[in-house]
Amino acid sequence: MRRGLLIAACLVVCAAARLAATPPETRPGAPPSPGVVPQSAAPPAAPAIVDATALGSPMLLDKNWRVGITSDPAAATSSFDDSAWQVRDAQAFMRDVAENDDSDNGNSPAAAVTIPGSQPASGGQRYAWFRLHIQLAQNHAPLALLVELPVSQNTTFGITSSGLTPDVFANGQRIMPDGPHGAAPQHYQAISRIYELNIPPSQTSLVLAVRTLYIPFGYGSYTSFFSTRTLTLGNPSDLQRELNLWSNREVFERLPRLIYCTLLAVLAIFLFVLYFAQKGHPEYLWLALHELVQAPMGFIELGGSSAKLDSVWYAALVLQLAVVAAYLFFEFLVSFLALRRGAYIRWLRYTAPILLGVGPVLLLVGHSKAIGALLAIIFLTSILWILAWSIFVFMTLVRAALRRNFEAALLLIPLVLSAVGIIEPVITSIVSENTGRPYVSPLTIQAGPVPIHVAAIGDFGGILVIILIIFGRFLRIQRTQERVTNELAAARTVQELLIPQEKMATPGFEVDSVYSPANEVGGDFFHVESFNEGMLVVIGDVAGKGLKAAMNVSLIMGALRHTLERNPARILESLNRVLVGTQSFTTCQAFWFGMDGAVVIANAGHLPPYLNSQEIELPGGLPLGVVAGMTYEEARFFLHPGDRMLLLSDGVVEARQPSGELFGFDRLRHFSQQSAFYLAEAAKAFGQQDDITVLTVRRQPTALAA
C-alpha cells in the first residue's frame, strides 16, 4: 500500500504514453500492411564501421552509433544516408543531437521502396533513431540481438523506467522479438528480449536500426536510451543463456517483494483467526483485509514487469488495490486508536466509494471522450482523497506518538522507511542524470544475489511492527482476561457461600432447589430461611451478566441475611431502597409460608409461580432499583398438605434451540409437576441461554398435625 500508490501512478503515465506513442497500425485491431517509404535517387553506401568478422562470443555494441531525429521511416533501410548524423557511444547519458529532416540527410522522395515487415509512416511521428553499420564474416553463423534492460528496481518504483519497447530493423527488415507477446510488445512493459536477425550467411553487411519515440528530455528521454539498455550481438544460443541469467537476476531482485507478499497473506489469515477468536476488536478485521488486499500486488507487479500482463490491466489492478488498501488502513487506524468520528473522518469515509471507480474507468480509456473526462474527474478526486488520507495518517500517528502511544510510534517507523524508499530512487535518478554516470544508492544492501532496498526494509519492518503490536495486545488482553477470570472465580466463591448449595432443614416443608448459572457467575439468586412461625423464600434475577450482576447479587444476599423483616412487601421495599442508584434493575418475589398453610406473596416484576401446575395470578409491580419509594401489593392464598409450589427464573422459559425455538410456557406447564432437577435439566438440554434457577416447595402432611 505504501509504495503501491506511486507505482500505480507511474504505471498510468506509462500506459498513457504507450497509447499515445503507439502508431495506429501497431495498435490492436489495425491490420498490418507493407510500408512504402521514400528512397533517395542515388543513396551513397554507408561504410561498415564495426568489425564483427571475428565474432565468436557475444559482442557488446557500445561504440559508433549514429543518432538522428527524424520522422522519415526510410531511416530503417540499409541504403539510408546517415553520414550527416552525429556519432555517439552507448553511454548512460549522451549529448543531444541536432534534429534532422529530409533535406539534411540527402534523401529525397524521388522513389519509393517497401520495407518488409514495416508499416507506412504514421502521420509525421518523430522518432529517435540509432543506427549501427556492422561488417560480418563470410558464411557467418546465425545472428541475434539481445536488448537487455537493467534488473535493479533502484530507479524504477517497481516498474521499468526503460519506456517503450523499441523497434528493431535489420537491413530494413522489421524484426519482432522473441518472448512473451512478441507480436505486440508495445502493449506490455519493456523487458530484455532477443531479436532473431535472419541475416543470410552470404550477406556480410548489416545495418542495425533501432527506433524509439522521440522524447527530448525528462522521463524516458532519448538521451538516456543506453542508460537502461545494453545491446549485444551474437549467436542466438549464447544470447539465450545471457537472457536466462537476466531472468534469474530478475527473480532474485523481486524475491524480497514476493516473500513480503506471501507473508502478508499468512498474516492476514492469522489476523482473521484472531478477530474471530477475540470478539470486540474490529481493528484486527480491518488490518486483515488491508494485508489481504496488498498480498497479490507483488505477484501482479511480477506479471506486469515480465510482460505477461497488459500494461493497462497492470496499471488498473495495482492502482485499484492500492487505493482500496489505503482506505482499509484508514479504517484500521480509526478502530486501532479508537478515534472519535469527527467531520474529517466522516468526509474520508463517505467520499471513499469513488475510489472503486479508478481501475474500471482506466480499463475503458480510449473508448470514448466521455470515459476520458470521467477518468480525469475520478483521478483528480482520488488524488485529493489520497492527499487528505496522507495528512490524516501522518498527523494522527504523530499526535498519538506524542501522547506516548507506543504502538502508534511503532507504526511510524515503517511508514518513514517506505517514504524514504519512495524518495530514494527519485534522488538516485537526479544524481545519475546530473553526473552523467550511474549512481548506486548506499541504502541498498546486497545479500548475496539478492539486493535489499530501503523500501523492502520498510515493508518487512511493517510486518515486524504489526507482529509486535499484536503480540503486545495479546499479552495485554491475556492479562486482562486472567484478572477478570480471577475476579469471577472469587465472585463465584462468594456466590456459593451466599446461595444455598445443599438442601436445608425446613420443618413442615420440603424444598428442592437447582441453581445453574450460564457463565462463571450468575445474576439469579434465592434465599431460604426457616423460623418457628414459618419459612421465608426470596427468588430473583438481576439484569445483565458477569461481574456487575454478581456484585448486585452479593449486595442483595447480604441485605437479606441481615434483615429481621418477615413481611414480603416490606422486604421488597427495603431491597428496592438498597438497589436504587445501581443503574440496574432486579426482578424479585418474596414468599412467607406460614406453618398453618397461609402463604403471602409480593412480586416485583418476576415470573409468576405455579401451584399444582396452575399459574398463580399476582398483582404487578416494577422491578427493584427502578423507582425510589416504590410500594408493593401482597397476595394471599392457602397451601394444603401435599400441595406443591414451583418458583423459577426466566432462564427456563427462555432456553432456546439453535433453530430459534423457545422452551416457552407450554412446555413449562407440562414439566411443572416434575422435580426441580428434572425441569432444570430439560431446560439446559433444550438450549440454555441464561441463568436457570428452579425451586419447588411442598407442604408436608405433618405440618398440619403440628
Q: Which tens digit of pLDDT belongs to each residue from 262-306? A: 999 999 999 999 888 877 889 899 999 999 999 999 899 888 888
Q: What is the pLDDT of residue 117?
A: 47
Q: What is the pLDDT of residue 167?
A: 92
Span 642-667, pLDDT tens digits:
999 999 998 899 999 988 899 998 88
Percent of the chain whose pLDDT exceeds 90: 35
Give the fold, CATH level 3, of 246-474: Rhopdopsin 7-helix transmembrane proteins (1.20.1070)
Q: What is the pLDDT of residue 375?
A: 82
Q: Band of the pLDDT at 463, cuts 50, 70, 90?
A: confident
Q: Band of the pLDDT at 554, cuts 50, 70, 90?
A: confident
Distance CA 650, CA 405 (A): 45
Does residue 561 carry a pLDDT above 80?
yes
Q: Which range (114-123, 307-316, 379-388, 646-655) has the least confidence?
A: 114-123
Q: Are 589 and 559 in contact (CB under 8 A)?
A: no
Domain 32-234 CATH class label:
mainly beta
Q: Where in the chain is the domain with CATH 1.20.1070?
A: 246-474
Residues in the chain: 706
Q: Where in the chain is the domain with CATH 2.60.120.260?
A: 32-234
Place of cell 545495418: 207
The CA–CA distances, whole Å, from 447 to 158, 264, 450 equal: 19, 22, 5
Q: What is the pLDDT of residue 129?
A: 95
Q: Which range (492-501, 586-595, 629-638) has the least confidence?
A: 492-501
Say what the pTM is.
0.66
Pure H helices in 499-616: 546-562, 568-579
Q: What is the pLDDT of residue 77?
A: 92
Q: Which range (85-89, 341-345, 472-476, 662-666) has the least confidence?
A: 472-476
Residues with Cβ within 8 Å of 70's Cβ and at least 6 positions away in sequence, in order, are 99, 100, 101, 102, 105, 126, 127, 129
List strand residue ranges (DSSP E) for 401-468, in order: 445-447, 450-452
Q: What is the pLDDT of residue 253?
A: 81
Average pLDDT, the chain: 81
Q: Band of the pLDDT at 227, cuts 50, 70, 90?
A: confident
CATH tag for 499-705 (out of 3.40.640.10, 3.30.200.20, 3.30.930.10, 3.60.40.10): 3.60.40.10
Q: Band of the pLDDT at 23, cuts 50, 70, 90?
A: very low
Q: What is the pLDDT of residue 369?
A: 77
Distance CA 154, CA 23 (A): 31
Distance CA 651, CA 691 (A): 5
The mean pLDDT of 352-358, rounded to a whole number, is 90
Residues with Cβ within 8 Å of 41's Cβ and at least 6 positions away in sequence, in order, are 108, 110, 111
Distance CA 675, CA 681 (A): 10
Q: Where in the chain is the domain with CATH 3.60.40.10?
A: 499-705
Q: Are 528 and 535 in contact (CB under 8 A)?
A: yes
Q: What is the pLDDT of residue 611?
A: 92
Does residue 111 carry a pLDDT above 70?
no
Q: Are 246 and 160 in contact (CB under 8 A)?
A: no
Q: What is the pLDDT of residue 288?
A: 93
